Structure 1
Amino acid sequence: MTTTSADLLQRFSFDAAPIRGEIAHLNECFSEIIRRHQYPQHINVALGELLAATALMSATLKFKGRLTLQIRLPGHISLLQAEADEQGQLRGIARYDADQPDDQLSFEDGQMVITLEPEQGQRYQGITSIHGGNVAAALEDYFSQSEQLPSRFWLSCDGQQAAGFMLQQLPSEQKEIDQDAWDRVSHLASTIKDEELLGLDNEALLHRLYHEETVRLYPATALRFFCTCSRQRLATALHQVGHQAIVEMLQETGTIDVNCEFCQQHYQFGQDDLPELFPENNLH
């Protein structure tokens, strides 16, 4: 039985209709992300919902690479960002003006940006405007405007854990299918309460919603926090700045200090690291 104590992504489908679903639970994974930051509660909640949504959408990744969801906003909370790869590794950040006392998060006049970055192949990015609502509404707006598969999202976060539920109508050439299934299945999912999505295991939740349907539940995959930053990645980035510019920076400041905004890992480069940053200068 699937329990909510683990960080899991699990697919389900309906035998009588071309509809698939995903359920995601982020507990330790979400805690690992937010403990590295001092976000206000309402930002934790919004970021948790976006991370759950990103986990749900990562189930469609058929390549090695990364899926990134961004919500760009015009207010003092300017960015919510979550990333996932094909192995279920997640990370996320928020950018906001800490001097603003406002504890409200408005999606009015924002943008939803979805980026797919395969290790091999072409990068894809889709951008759409969003107006009001929440993370789930923003995603549904995106799918509606981009004319992709009809999709519905239910997301919940209490600041400590996050969960998500997704339905997607699949194309089908079968003539004899349940024509009312999408409306019925979506309507039943709309009855999910936050405490049920966060607290019930997947089998119990699906039984509560669809005990009159034939639902197929597939093996779950693990989700976990993982940051892709590394000293080598930063060294490569500094190398691209150029030898002369780095030398001048070191002469001025003594060291180059970099903090990863996702995991808060600190990296420091000094004069002694120039051979590491520019190995070609050591060739004679």
Structure 2
Amino acid sequence: MASSTKISSKHTLPDQVQRFLFDNTAVRGELVQLHQSYQEVLIRHNYPPAIEKLLGELLAAVALLTATVKLEGTLTLEARGQGEVSLLMAECNTGAQGGDQLRAIARYQGEPTGQTLAELLNGGQLVITLDPYEGQRYQGIVALDQDTLMACLEGYFASSEQLPTKLWLAADSKSAGGLLLQKLPEDARNKDSDAWIRLGHLAATLTNEELLHLEQNELLHRLFHEETLRTFEPHTLKFGCTCSRERIANALASLGEEELKEALKDKGELATQCHFCNTHYVFTKDDLPELLNEKTIETQTSPRLH
């Protein structure tokens, strides 16, 4: 039986992902906790509690996966369904000053009545996209045929990556968090053949409250104090959006000169906003030269969601 742990209700914990491994085993792990960055997503949208929870889990998962594959670029998780919720999406962009940037969004109709991933999306697909700054774009797809995001991602790793992986994800109205354990290929350094099963049992004693609100070093000690655990420098995470006036201008430029002139003539201005961060962008007839100039560089940049 897991021992009870007293947890402070004050949210002074940093948003960060902690990488660790167990010496003399073929097991590694990642631990992530999100507070401010998760709140930055929520305050921009009035999501129902069930969608808030799933977006928190998705944010924690995308941070874990980005750290696990050590990607320099953008990693996106998209859950696309045919139910009350049509899209849940989270994205991690690496390399930003001050920490990797996270953002997320949901699309749904009416007031959803479901609570779980299966109930809200009613089937569909989980799309995992890795878009490195250099190199080829990769996309993996797995069916949303499990009750939880955790189970769907574990199935993806088992079938597509051939790496046994265990995930624990949680979110409430204030924080989101995740723990990942992964079994690496066997080699001569692995002197503990029982480690994978044993460590999985230890991690399974973790409660949602501990995952969300217990300081990371204390949490790892609580779970694995009898193991030889090695931790690395934590990596900072923050909310951030890749939208910009230039990207929006690129999208508007694709309408063509005549349509732009007609729209500006009718309305006097073109106004739009980013669906992720709600930043508003306004273009007037004085900005038409800017829009038309942007059209010439549109093909030089990779298309991205705004």
TM-score, with structure 2 as normaliser = 0.86
Q: Give the Cα separation in 2 of the matches to 1:187 and 1:249.
A: 62
Cross-structure match for 2:200: 186
Q: Give the Cα separation in 2 of the matches to 1:39 and 1:136.
A: 21
Percentage of pairs with the same residue: 48
Q: Are residues 1:141 and 2:155 paired?
A: yes
Distance 1:221 1:106, change over 3 A: closer
Distance 1:93 1:280, change over 3 A: closer
Q: Are residues 1:76 and 2:70 paired?
A: no
SS of the residue corresponding to residue 241 of structure 1 reads coil
The count of residues paired between Structure 1 and Structure 2 equals: 278
Distance 1:248 1:102, change over 3 A: same
Cross-structure match for 1:20: 28
Tell whether the 8 Å contact from 1:36 to 1:264 is kept in structure 2 after alignment.
yes
SS of the residue corresponding to residue 254 of structure 2 reads helix
Cross-structure match for 1:66: 74
Tell whether the 8 Å contact from 1:130 to 1:141 is kept in structure 2 after alignment.
no
| Range with greater deviation from structure 2 (66-75 or 170-179) | 170-179
Q: Give the Cα separation in 2 of the matches to 1:275 and 1:47.
A: 39
Q: Are residues 1:210 and 2:221 paired?
A: no
Q: Are residues 1:94 and 2:102 paired?
A: no
Q: Give the Cα separation in 1 of the matches to 2:215 and 2:102.
A: 21
Q: Deviations over 1:164-214 (max 9, x none)?
A: 100111123217521111111112111110011112112211122112210
Q: Give the Cα separation in 1 of the matches to 2:190 and 2:113.
A: 53
| Range with greater deviation from structure 2 (246-255 or 214-223) | 246-255
Q: Deviations over 1:103-133 (max 9, x none)?
A: 4234242211000111222111111112131
SS of the residue corresponding to residue 60 of structure 1 reads helix
Q: Deviations over 1:26-73 (max 9, x none)?
A: 001111111000001111011001100111111135453100011111
Distance 1:28 1:106, change over 3 A: closer
Q: Are residues 1:57 and 2:65 paired?
A: yes
Tell whether the 8 Å contact from 2:24 to 2:189 is kept in structure 1 after alignment.
no
TM-score, with structure 1 as normaliser = 0.92
Cross-structure match for 1:224: 238
RMSD over equivalenced CA pairs, Å: 1.9
SS of the residue corresponding to residue 273 of structure 1 reads helix
Query: 1:64 is aligned with what amino acid?
Result: E
Which residue of 141, 157, 165 corresponds with 1:127? Answer: 141
Residue 100 of structure 1: CA displacement?
A: 3.4
Cross-structure match for 1:85: 93
Q: Give the Cα separation in 1 of the matches to 2:124 and 2:293.
A: 44
